[in-house]
Chain A
Amino acid sequence: MPGLRCQPGVSRRHRRDTGGSVDLWPVNYAIEANGLGKRYGRRWALADCTLTVPAGQVVGLVGPNGAGKTTLLELAVGLLRPTTGTITVRRRAGFVAQGAPVYDGLTVAEHLRMGQALNTSWDAGLARRSTDAAGLDPRQRAGRLSGGQRAQLALTLAVAKRPELLVLDEPVANLDPLARRDFLDSVAQAVTDSAEGTTVVFSSHLVADVERTCGYLILLAGAQVRLAGPVDALRAAHPRAQSLDDLVVSYLREVPR
């Protein structure tokens, strides 16, 4: 298969062979991909990707632009269909797409009503608290919200359906530093509010965004999983790296151009 390749993380067979004793991955998975590939025309956005995302963790998916992060996440939430392989999501997912799309013509309150109409479970109280905390006026049209407010609204829609898996695709990429901080606080709050065992997958091309919030890191680059594991364990295993960022950059340097 030409183009990008995504190195197997730990396949099932591998895990069984090693008796589960050496790997860092928990037994329970929220997302499991096997030989996953997605082709657009002649270009493979993701190729032969086998990876697992542990349940009950806040997972940072980092990697440079074009690494296949969006493709992977959209495959996970069912917006895309795999060209090859399979992806299994064992949790009901809430999703905030890249750019946090909302309907410009609908008000904040109408968005919440939409969330209630389109989902089997909906926590109206949580939704209201979340928009209040973000300082959103219910009567305001989404088209007149700032980028940070739009992202907060999109996050509220994803969180109030009480998902067991929350998938956020580059949610802070276009936000100013203050809105970025507010949004990450909201994600942390959502994790606190959510039920035990909720999984959050959060993609970003900046390690710093992920470092504050995430306990688990997956590095996708050159369409390979370069690194995956609990942040603490990764830091401990690489004592010479000054920071998580250094650690990630040192792995990225090995990616063939």
Chain B
Amino acid sequence: MTWLAWRQARAQSAIGLAAILAVAVAAVAAGRTDSMLRLWLSTLVVVVPGLLGAFWGAPLVASELESGSFRLAWTQDVSRVRWLTLRLAVSGLAAMAAAGLLSWLVTWWAGPQDQAGLDQFGSFDARGIVPAGYAAFAFALGVLLGTVLRRTVAAMAATLLLFTAARLAFRLLVRPVLLPPVTRALALNPSTTGYGSSGFLPFVPPASLQPAAPDLPNAWVTSVAIVNEKGHALASSVLARTCPDIGHGGGGHVGGGHVQAPQGVVNATRECVARIAAAYHELITYQPAGRYWPLQWYELGVFLAAALLLAAGCAWHVRRIG
């Protein structure tokens, strides 16, 4: 039975392996200093798990249902659930291996550039072990959607959509608090804090002070806020009341590639920040650099657990078909 599951995953596995080898050869040939190629390879690692879910996962059951071959597979002595379990295991492990191998390759290739960049969390999704977890999740999601929708093409589209939604939701809502973040309070520094106004852009506060990014190499800063002792954020009304003149005085002239504010405006902003600093301070929320690998393991674990749940859902649904 394992033989059959492998036989049915063999061709796509060979194609996947050949594609990874081609990428490896091209990357090594181009050299490890190409920063544009680093971007492309990172994008590839991010995209591949979704493609594996759509092209390997979605058709696994859906194509059997569409072609009618499930009537052959499910009328043998081996039960449907055992048949599904072995097919899920073999193809799912192949998908994990493909994404893991590609990620390992890119992690190695981009190593020197990543170390120089001091922004390891900037490429968190495209390095290390998490891509294997994404691949397992996307694959199981694809199989489940194929089982439920019974249409390969519809299941492929739904897989890409839902996988992207799940990844984004996890990235934005879960990962920042997967480990309790560390906070650090700093006094507002008038000489490195600027002022920004969005004008009429939606979802952006109309006026705010912009502290400089803290010097935390390789840490993941999830928020930089200006708060008072009670923890309340600096409201734009408070800012406008404290510094009625801020934002007036116009911009500067363009010189040397950036806009230089007039000295009067700079001084007014510094005085404003000093006044605000009497009641407010800068609060940095971040994941320290040393959390990188723990967070990789936790995220891998969460996506693998989700993949197992989806696989159980497949088994439950396959039993009920008919």
Contacts and interface: CB of A to CB of B under 8 A. Distances in A.
Interface of A: 74, 77-81, 92-95, 97-99, 101-103, 105-106, 110, 113-115, 117-121, 154, 157, 161
Contacts of B83: 118
A99 B66 CA distance: 13
Given A80-B322, A115-B76, A120-B77, A99 B68 contact: yes
Contacts, number: 64
Contact of B72 (A117, A120, A154): A154
Contacts of B322: 74, 78-81
B74 A101 contact: no
Interface in B234-265: none
A117 B77 contact: no
Contact of B78 (A74, A105, A119): A119
Contacts of B73: 118
B7 interface: yes
B3 interface: yes
A45 to B, nearest CB: 12
A110 B77 contact: no
14 contacts: A77-B75, A81-B320, A97-B71, A97-B72, A98-B68, A101-B71, A101-B72, A102-B69, A103-B8, A103-B69, A117-B4, A118-B1, A118-B78, A119-B77
A97 B7 contact: no
A161 to B, nearest CB: 7
Interface of B: 1, 3-4, 7-8, 11, 67-69, 71-78, 83, 320, 322
Instruction: Give the secondary structure class of A's interface.
Output: loop
B85 to A, nearest CB: 13
Which of B1, B73, B75, B322 has the most A CB atoms < 10 Å from its CB? B75
A119 B69 CA distance: 17
Nearest to B10: A105
Contacts of B67: 101
Contacts of A79: 71, 74-75, 322
Contacts of B4: 113-114, 117-118
A166 to B, nearest CB: 11
A118 B77 CA distance: 6
B76 A161 contact: yes
Contact of B75 (A95, A98, A99, A110): A95
A97 B1 CA distance: 21
Contacts of B69: 101-103
B121 to A, nearest CB: 43
B302 to A, nearest CB: 35
A110 B11 CA distance: 14
A121 B75 CA distance: 14
Nearest to B76: A118
Nearest to B320: A81
Contacts of B7: 106, 110, 114
Contacts of B77: 92, 118-121, 161
Contacts of B8: 103, 105
B147 to A, nearest CB: 15
Which of B4, B72, B78 has the most A CB atoms < 10 Å from its CB? B72
Contacts of A97: 68, 71-72, 75
Contacts of B78: 117-119
B243 to A, nearest CB: 68
Contacts of A118: 1, 4, 73, 76-78, 83
A154 B68 CA distance: 13
B86 to A, nearest CB: 10
A101 B75 contact: no
Contacts of A105: 8, 11
Contacts of A93: 75
A158 B27 CA distance: 51
